[in-house]
Amino acid sequence: MRDAAPGKIFLKDYKPFGYLVDFVHLTFDLSPHATRVTTKIGFRPNPEAEDKTFFLHGEHLKFISATIDGMPVTPLITAEGLTCHVPPHDFVWETVVEIDPANNTALEGLYMSKGMYSTQCEAEGFRKITFYPDRPDVMSVFTVRINGDLPVLLSNGNKVATGPGFAEWHDPWPKPAYLFALVAGELINHPGRFTTKSGRDVELNIWVRPGDEDKCAFAMEALRKSMKWDEDVYGREYDLDIFNIVAVDDFNMGAMENKGLNIFNSSAVLASPETATDLNFERIEAIIAHEYFHNWTGNRITCRDWFQLCLKEGLTVFRDSQFTSDMRSAPVKRIADVIDLRGRQFPEDAGPLAHPVRPESYEEINNFYTATVYEKGAEVIGMLKRLVGDDGYARALDLYFDRHDGQACTIEDWLTVFQDATGRDLSQFKRWYSQAGTPRLTVEESWEGDRYTLTFTQETRPTPHSPDPKPQVIPIAVGLLGPNGDEIQPTTLLEMTDATQSFTFDGIPSKPVPSILRGFSAPVALDRKVSREERAFLLAHDTDPFNRWEAGRALAREILTEGARTGAPLDGDFAEGLRNVLRDDSLDPAYRALMLALPGQSEIAAALHAAGTVPDPMAIWTASETLKDQIARLAEAELATLYEEMQVREPYAPNADQAGRRALRNAALAFLNRRDGAMRARAQYSAADNMTMQLAALGCLLAAGNGVSELEDFYDQWQGERLVLDKWFAIQVMQADPWGAVPTTARLTQHSDFMWQNPNRFRAVFGSLAGNHAGFHAADGAGYRLLADWLIRLDAVNPQTAARMCAAFQTWRHYDAGRQLNARAELERIAATPDLSRDMTEMVGRMLS
């Protein structure tokens, strides 16, 4: 049978489990279709718990036997787990079950990927391995024996015994079951070492399938840097003698922080200059850091229940952003994070999938690994840090690690630590965790005598979760510029707590130009009527790099929304402003490349919707093309100069400096390509000796309607490299024009390399379709229909990835009646599919409600 459906789960219903677990001994007898799992658990009644119901989760398990203290018992088994009469004192529980990893296509629990065994237990996958209290507040020490004739047998913790056909692992750190991991296969290791600051010598390994061993060096270096950084910045040391990372081809997400045995999507580990782009390298560095940082924020201190997911994810995303800022460029990282937040989290918060950073109910927890929990969760921590200051933050974090090490905690615990460490009352701040929706901030200014006043008003759209939103604490970083562009008021932090609030600056001799929300100091939508001249002034003079970029971004957004709404020719203000930025050699190339990146078409659609206009995807596409043509024409000289100047002549290295120059060169190429008959792109394609330059050139050729032979050539060159083949699939859909997107996607689904059960390949094709705004939103509904067809097919084998991808429909109500009709029909068709998963049922239900 399919997944069990226990209905809605509520935060307010939390109760501790009736038993404590003193130890867990797991024995795996591996076999592709009949792996035996013998589980021995030391239970003891939990004195803190009133309810002593003995319920163990278990799904899709073939029950063989159960004993209590050696005596056979007959538990009552349902689709969700088992109950049994148990003694009122300590007892040893033992079960034997059988599972079928080879037929596990959901990639949750124990499954097989290309001949290797692997696990994914977060959030609730351990119950597909054995009967267990599968909840994060039940922590225990695990000992694992793996019997199998594969050369590499791995689990959490330290290896305590090994011999032909078996290995035994012991993890001394108590942990919840979601951090359990097992890997077995014919794997090769890329070894490394790290000595911690107190002198512990740690063995590091990255395990990959044969053929991939030459793509591990970068990830190993990233791991060593992460370990050092966490010691230097947070004082956190690694706590085992070995740290293993394994790369797996079939994986639902980026990676998983299992204690001492991180498991990674191979796309988040493997890289060589020839096969990976600069962005791939940067993402790998960030994900390695993220999973490593979880060792303290997630593993040593974990979550009491899944409603507290942001406790570990928001904090760990915040930490990995800090790491990337330190390793690379802080302003560039900040801008990239805000682009991502606006691109993924703002739409979520503005639509039917909106939920608080700490949700209060769910049907399927896998549906809550969202941009809101992760990215907005990280923004909330960034605000907290700004409000209490760097010292306050450092004291609070020390107290957090001190007080809660070894515990399963809540957001209340987290905020209490900050209150205790800094003396600050955070009761109002806590609303950031409980209210959904993006606050909209409007501003009025006045200047009289030498007093300058800024008056802010905040407003949050009511959602079903928060029907009556209250004012939130908003840290607003502000600076003031004088008429000649000098900074007359350096960045100062205003703390807004009321619905409407004024802040005054005295001794301001002339009307200043304000630079508001510097560094994007709060995840709000700043809605301020600003003249084109003022934006251009900020673009030229703002000393805050984020707001300088933001000025250009806002200008481009306004020009595009106006162009899409009226169809009128676009004025050249933005292109003019850009020319100055492009010529400014004092600016980091990576930063200038971000200046050249125009707001995406879905961002324009969202802006139109927010302003009360129904977005027309074709009009947005046309405006966007027009602006690109205009920039290419007006800034051609600057772009051509940059294209030459930014050529990297040293041997390829994936560092921030080189990556920045390549990014700017490729950004220039995309514009020049509109004027030079794709001459440069063709030359760049043939000369490229790394994937960054090769793929960018191919993208330009496809965008220009060329590149047929290069596309074939690329396929021939890379058909043996699955991660590169993903790029080959993706780029064709991304670069297709609005008429070509759906037919191209449909054709690619017929390709013999379209291994649709592999999440990376499925995402390469359908993630790109969803990202091709005008193509996906084709007026005849063909984009919606094609995606729905495949989501229905995928849901039957992998509900988790299918449900994540169906969020592509979340903005469907923003469009015109015809599109709404088409989208609704597809959502209803999905909803009516027999045996639809719980994951999909919840997602589609929320989007239709």
Residue 593, classed as helix, strand or coil, is helix
Q: Which does 744 bind (CB under 5 to 8 A by kind): ligand TRP, Zn ion, none?
A: none
Min dist. Cβ of residue 290 to ligand TRP (A): 6
Q: Per CB under 6 A, does 375 bind ligand TRP?
A: no
Q: Which does 694 bind (CB under 5 to 8 A by kind): ligand TRP, Zn ion, none?
A: none
Min dist. Cβ of residue 291 to ligand TRP (A): 6
Q: Between 318 and 643, whose beta carbon lies closer to Zn ion?
A: 318
Beta bridge partners of 803: none
Q: Per CB under 6 A, does 256 bind ligand TRP?
A: yes
Distance between CA atoms of residues 711 and 704, nearest Å: 13
Q: Per CB under 6 A, does 120 bind ligand TRP?
A: yes
Sole window of 254-262, 620-628, 665-673, 841-849 interacting with ligand TRP (rule: CB under 6 A): 254-262
Min dist. Cβ of residue 288 to Zn ion (A): 12
Sole window of 165-173, 249-257, 414-422, 776-784 interacting with ligand TRP (rule: CB under 6 A): 249-257
Sole window of 78-86, 251-259, 376-384, 433-441 interacting with ligand TRP (rule: CB under 6 A): 251-259
Specify burial of residue 546 (Cβ count, 10 A radius: 0-12, 13-18, 19+): buried
**Residue 743 backbone dihedrals phi, psi, to 5 degrees:** -60, -40
Distance between CA atoms of residues 734 and 793, nearest Å: 22
Q: Is 448 a catalytic residue?
A: no
Q: Per CB under 6 A, does 238 bind ligand TRP?
A: no
Min dist. Cβ of residue 469 to ligand TRP (A): 28
Q: Name the packing angle between helices 217-234 and 309-327 (round to 10°).
A: 100
Residue 671, classed as helix, strand or coil, is helix
Distance between CA atoms of residues 503 and 456, nearest Å: 8
Q: Between 135 and 290, whose beta carbon lies closer to ligand TRP?
A: 290
The token duo for 70 is 């050696």
Q: Between 66 and 121, whose beta carbon lies closer to ligand TRP?
A: 121
Q: Per CB under 6 A, does 255 bind ligand TRP?
A: yes
Number of residues that bind ligand TRP (CB under 6 A): 13
For residue 406, which of 516, 301, 272 has the smallest C-alpha distance?
Answer: 301
Min dist. Cβ of residue 250 to ligand TRP (A): 12
Q: Which does 55 bind (CB under 5 to 8 A by kind): ligand TRP, Zn ion, none?
A: none
What separation in angstroms does the CA of 141 have from each of 20, 136, 169? 11, 13, 11
Q: Between 377 and 479, whose beta carbon lies closer to ligand TRP?
A: 377
Q: Between 122 and 544, whose beta carbon lies closer to ligand TRP?
A: 122
Q: Between 254 and 845, whose beta carbon lies closer to Zn ion?
A: 254
Number of residues that bind Zn ion (CB under 5 A): 2
Query: Tokens 């922080």 map to which residue?
Result: 257
Residues 284-313 that bind Zn ion (CB under 5 A): 313
Min dist. Cβ of residue 320 to Zn ion (A): 8
Q: Which does 268 bind (CB under 5 to 8 A by kind): Zn ion, ligand TRP, none?
A: none
Q: Per CB under 6 A, does 373 bind ligand TRP?
A: no
Sole window of 120-128, 222-230, 511-519, 711-719 interacting with ligand TRP (rule: CB under 6 A): 120-128
Min dist. Cβ of residue 368 to ligand TRP (A): 9
The only residue of 59, 249, 257, 638 in contact with ligand TRP, by rule CB under 6 A = 257
Q: Which does 255 bind (CB under 5 to 8 A by kind): ligand TRP, Zn ion, none?
A: ligand TRP
The only residue of 3, 59, 291, 305 in contact with ligand TRP, by rule CB under 6 A = 291
Q: How many CB atoms lie within 10 A of CB 451?
A: 12
For residue 181, which of 125, 105, 113, 250 has the smallest C-alpha distance?
Answer: 125
The only residue of 253, 496, 605, 639 in contact with ligand TRP, by rule CB under 6 A = 253
Q: Between 226 and 547, whose beta carbon lies closer to Zn ion?
A: 226
**Sequence-distant (≥ 6) Cβ neighbours of residue 191 within 8 angstroms:** 203, 204, 205
Helix (H) or strand (E) holding 163: strand 158-163
Is the separation of the CB atoms in 335 and 546 below 8 Å? Answer: yes
What separation in angstroms does the CA of 266 have from each of 287, 295, 721, 760? 11, 20, 12, 9
Q: Per CB under 6 A, does 784 bind ligand TRP?
A: no
Q: Between 313 and 550, whose beta carbon lies closer to Zn ion?
A: 313
Residues 681-710 that bind ligand TRP (CB under 6 A): none
Q: Name the packing angle between helices 782-795 and 817-831 (round to 10°).
A: 20
Q: How many CB atoms lie within 10 A of CB 434?
A: 17
Specify burial of residue 144 (Cβ count, 10 A radius: 0-12, 13-18, 19+): buried
Sole window of 247-255, 349-357, 478-486, 785-793 interacting with ligand TRP (rule: CB under 6 A): 247-255
Q: Which does 120 bind (CB under 5 to 8 A by kind): Zn ion, ligand TRP, none?
A: ligand TRP
Min dist. Cβ of residue 266 to Zn ion (A): 18
Min dist. Cβ of residue 337 to Zn ion (A): 15
Q: Between 313 and 363, whose beta carbon lies closer to Zn ion?
A: 313
Min dist. Cβ of residue 172 to ligand TRP (A): 22
Min dist. Cβ of residue 369 to ligand TRP (A): 5
Is the separation of the CB atoms in 385 and 393 below 8 Å? Answer: yes
Percentages helix, strand, coil for the chain, rounded to the nearest 5? 45, 20, 35
**Binding string, 329-368, against ligand TRP, x = CB under 6 A?**
-------------------------------------x--
Q: Between 120 and 372, whose beta carbon lies closer to ligand TRP?
A: 120
Of 285, 291, 638, 710, catalytic = 291
Q: Which does 256 bind (CB under 5 to 8 A by kind): Zn ion, ligand TRP, none?
A: ligand TRP
What separation in angstroms does the CA of 569 have from each of 39, 560, 622, 774? 70, 10, 11, 20
Q: Between 619 and 794, whose beta carbon lies closer to ligand TRP?
A: 794
Specify burial of residue 709 (Cβ count, 10 A radius: 0-12, 13-18, 19+): exposed
**Sequence-distant (≥ 6) Cβ neighbours of residue 657 within 8 angstroms:** none
Q: Per CB under 6 A, does 285 bind ligand TRP?
A: no
Q: Between 745 and 801, whose beta carbon lies closer to ligand TRP?
A: 801
DSSP H helical ranges for 531-616: 532-541, 545-566, 573-583, 589-596, 601-610
Specify burial of residue 232 (Cβ count, 10 A radius: 0-12, 13-18, 19+): exposed
The only residue of 180, 207, 369, 685 in contact with ligand TRP, by rule CB under 6 A = 369
The only residue of 26, 110, 123, 646 in contact with ligand TRP, by rule CB under 6 A = 123
Min dist. Cβ of residue 294 to Zn ion (A): 6
Comparing every residue's Cβ against ligand TRP, the nearest one is 253
Q: Between 120 and 745, whose beta carbon lies closer to ligand TRP?
A: 120
DSSP 71: E
Q: Per CB under 6 A, does 313 bind ligand TRP?
A: yes
DSSP per-residue string spanning 249-308? SS-SSSEE--TTEEEEEGGGT---TTT--HHHHHHHHHHHHHHHHTTTBTTTBEESSGGG
For residue 575, which of 637, 509, 525 has the smallest C-alpha distance?
Answer: 637
**Residue 18 backbone dihedrals phi, psi, to 5 degrees:** -70, -10
Our CA dihedral for 461, 464, 470, 473, rounded to 10 degrees, sits at: -80
Give the residues lining the site for Zn ion (CB under 5 A). Answer: 313, 316
Active site residues: 291
Point out which residues bind ligand TRP (CB under 6 A).
120, 122-123, 252-253, 255-257, 290-291, 313, 366, 369
